[in-house]
Amino acid sequence: MAGPLQGFRVLDMSRVLAGPWAGQLLADLGAEVIKIERPGIGDDTRHWGPPYAKDANGEELEDAAYFYCANRGKKSVCVDITTAEGQKIIRQLARDSDVLIENYKVGGLAKYELDYDSLKTVNPKLVYCSITGFGQTGPYAHRPGYDFLIQGMGGLMSITGEPDESDSQTGGPVKVGVAVTDIFTGLYAANAIQGALLERQKSGVGQHIDLALLDVQAAVLANQATNYLVGDMIPQRLGNAHPNIVPYQAFPTADSHIIITIGNDQQFAQFCQVLGQPELANSENYATNSARVNNRSVLCNKISDCLKNETSEHWLTCLEENNIPCGPINNIDQVFDNPQIVARDMLIEMTNSQGVKVKLPGNPIKYSRSKIDYETMPENLGASTVDILSRHDKESY
């Protein structure tokens, strides 16, 4: 069965990650996504390498691997929006589209009459999604915003990294290893767009969506935010530990590290049996999660002393046999070799018309009837310009 968004057209005027991530998700769900790019340059991430994609002979292509993470399923169309002709093309495409995604600076498209107020006169049904660092309003509205910057300003780095009192040489705040604020913003954007399309079925008109990276980062602080807002407790960096559950962290073994994630008291009691330390579960200092949180340091040291006596493979086997939540810390290559990842179709291979093949992470959404669309791999710059523009009345440009 076709993707649930088949028949919808999206004009993706965004670059880098947050906006393109939203556009790619909509494409995976079946929408026709037209990616507008600068002639001769394209999306900035086309040049964010090495590494670069390679052809069948192993020769490097022009596009960096980074570009491929957020641009499958899209048609690349080159338009110079600084020219009158380019502006006419965008207006024509917007007239025939359901959605427009952009991440220009606040007011940046107004001078070309490509902002929401201008385009809604061309297409009142248009759902127009603007993604910026700080939003369309507020004292920071005109500041540029980038994921790393927002991870710091939005509190994420204050809870990521080793604690101040740690002896680790890697202490201090650190960013997450992928641009999660961008990705979360892209996911919120895709959800907001689909919500606006559903609302449009009732009202008959589109609307403007104003998404800010800083707003998103504040929202996804989740339990760490409510620990402060409700519990009046400012969260601190705990390394790999959990602020509200113990033991729930990485522990050293004889040869590496494993992750233990104990979710309740019954699991903890069974865990202690596997460790050969059943008395820990009966101690008033550790019998309940609240007690374990209050006695975190002493308990975790005891657990570490036990786990260091055997290898990771030994402990993972024993813990899994007893249904104790645990796991290894895999490298990226191990992730995509994992039989569960392979079985779930999370590793896909795509081929373009020139025979170039790339492997990409799959979409995690599994519908019972609808399908995820993997028909178009990320295109070369401007590959669909002639095809897309020829579908429209050229005289209107």
Least confident residue range of 134-148, 334-348, 350-364: 350-364
Distance CA 180, CA 44 (A): 18
Question: Residue 354: its pLDDT value, please?
Answer: 78
Report, as residue numbers or ranges, the catalytic residues.
182
How is domain 9-220+339-396 classified at the CATH fold level?
Rossmann fold (3.40.50)
75-93 tens-digit pLDDT: 999 999 999 999 999 999 9
Question: What are the backbone dihedrals phi and psi of residue 121, each rounded to the nearest 5 degrees, phi first?
Answer: -75, -25
189-243 tens-digit pLDDT: 999 999 999 999 999 999 999 999 999 999 999 999 999 999 999 999 999 999 9
Q: Which residues, 6+ apart, have CB-to-CB distance to 103 below 8 Å?
A: 13, 14, 15, 16, 18, 19, 130, 131, 132
142-183 tens-digit pLDDT: 999 999 999 999 999 999 999 887 555 667 899 999 999 999
Q: Which residues, 6+ apart, have CB-to-CB distance to 125 below 8 Å?
A: 98, 200, 204, 205, 206
Determine what percent of the chain is predicted with pLDDT higher than 70. 97
Domain ranges of the chain: 9-220+339-396, 248-252+257-328
Query: What tokens does 311 get?
Result: 């290898």
Residue 255 three-state SS: coil
Rounded average pLDDT over 254-277: 96
CA separation, residue 207 to residues 20, 136, 138, 194, 353 (Å): 20, 14, 20, 12, 37
Tell me the CATH architecture of domain 248-252+257-328.
2-Layer Sandwich (3.30)
Q: 71 pLDDT exceeds 80? A: yes
Question: Residue 396: its pLDDT value, please?
Answer: 46
Distance CA 290, CA 192 (A): 38
Question: Residue 353: its pLDDT value, please?
Answer: 75
Answer for the pair 271, 319: CB distance below 8 angstroms, yes or no: yes
86-132 tens-digit pLDDT: 999 999 999 999 999 999 999 999 999 999 999 999 999 999 999 99
